[in-house]
Amino acid sequence: MMVRETKLKGCYIIEPKIFNDSRGYFFESFNQKTFNELTNQNVNFVQDNESFSSRGVLRGLHFQTRDHAQAKLVRVIKGSVLDVAVDIRIDSETFGEHVAVELTEDNKHQLFIPRGFAHGFVVLSDKAIFSYKCDNFYNKEAEGGIIFNDQDLQIDWRLQEEDLIISEKDMELTTFKELFI
Ligand SMILES: Cc1cn([C@H]2C[C@H](O)[C@@H](COP(=O)(O)OP(=O)(O)O[C@H]3O[C@@H](C)C(=O)[C@@H](O)[C@H]3O)O2)c(=O)[nH]c1=O
């Protein structure tokens, strides 16, 4: 497993070691000991989620507030997505900055997004199965979000806006400035 820190402190791209043979492939999709050692974390994941989406589906940008904040380890099982993590830690040097990483069934890369980030992704392939671990439980009352096309964040989602499929809830999300400035 290889780990690279992104320009956002504490946010890592993880490249698992893939073992290919005549039967197919094998890899450790998560190994707590190796993960904690290489990322300098002590994360205790408590919830696993999976979602299925078609091309153009954009989910996000989501976070949970205060004690309910979640670190996430995200990956793609089928298809490909552009995954985006936005630093919303107000005391961070990179507050308001984001990383966008392509996660695909072929590259098998994972993104570790620490607490204090907003997260979203858009599906680039026909279909995608997205899978992630969270270190805190889902809490409906603590849900927060930022509108995907926020003027200050300037995220390039790669697809035309008219091709995006977004939930009503996500279309009503507020701006970065309204939340934090
Ligand atoms: C996220 C979540 C949703 N739900 C329910 C609530 C709702 O009825 C249904 C769909 O929820 P949502 O529309 O919020 O699903 P979705 O838009 O896929 O939400 C997810 O988006 C990505 C980007 C994230 O980062 C995740 O943390 C999560 O916020 O599933 C749970 O029961 N547990 C959960 O952990």
| Residues 66-106 pLDDT 10s | 999 999 999 999 999 999 999 999 999 999 999 999 999 99
pLDDT of residue 168: 98
Q: Look up 12 and say whether it is catalytic.
A: no
> Which atom in ligand 1 lies closest to the alpha carbon of residue 170?
17
- Pocket test residue of 59, 131, 167 for ligand 1, highest count of atoms within 8 A of CB: 59
* Residue 148, in any domain of the structure: yes
**181/176 Cα distance (integer angstroms):** 8
* Residue 124, in any domain of the structure: yes
Asked if ipTM goes beyond 0.95, one says yes
Asked if residues 74 and 130 have their Cβ atoms less than 8 Å apart, the reply is yes
* Residue 173, in any domain of the structure: yes
Q: Look up 132 and say whether it is catalytic.
A: yes
* Residue 162, in any domain of the structure: yes
* Residue 135, in any domain of the structure: yes
* Catalytic member of 62, 98, 109, 119: 62
Structural domain that includes position 170: 46-180
* Residue 30, in any domain of the structure: no
DSSP-derived letter for residue 105 is T
Here the CATH number for the domain that contains residue 56 is: 2.60.120.10
Asked if residues 84 and 159 have their Cβ atoms less than 8 Å apart, the reply is no
* Residue 70, in any domain of the structure: yes
> Does the global pTM surpass 0.95?
yes
> Number of folded domains in the chain?
1
Both tokens of residue 46? 């408590």
* 93 Cβ neighbours under 8 A, 6+ residues apart: 9
Ligand 1 center from residue 60 Cα (angstroms):
9
> Which atom in ligand 1 lies closest to the alpha carbon of residue 143?
29
Question: What are the two backbone dihedrals, phi and then psi, of residue 179, each rounded to the nearest 5 degrees?
Answer: -80, -40
Residue 181 banded pLDDT, cuts 50, 70, 90: confident
The dihedral of CA 155, 7, 60, 78: what is its sign? positive
* Residue 119, in any domain of the structure: yes
Residue range 26-31: mean pLDDT, rounded = 98
Q: Residue with the nearest Cα to atom 31 of ligand 1?
A: 138
| Residues 88-99 pLDDT 10s | 999 999 999 999
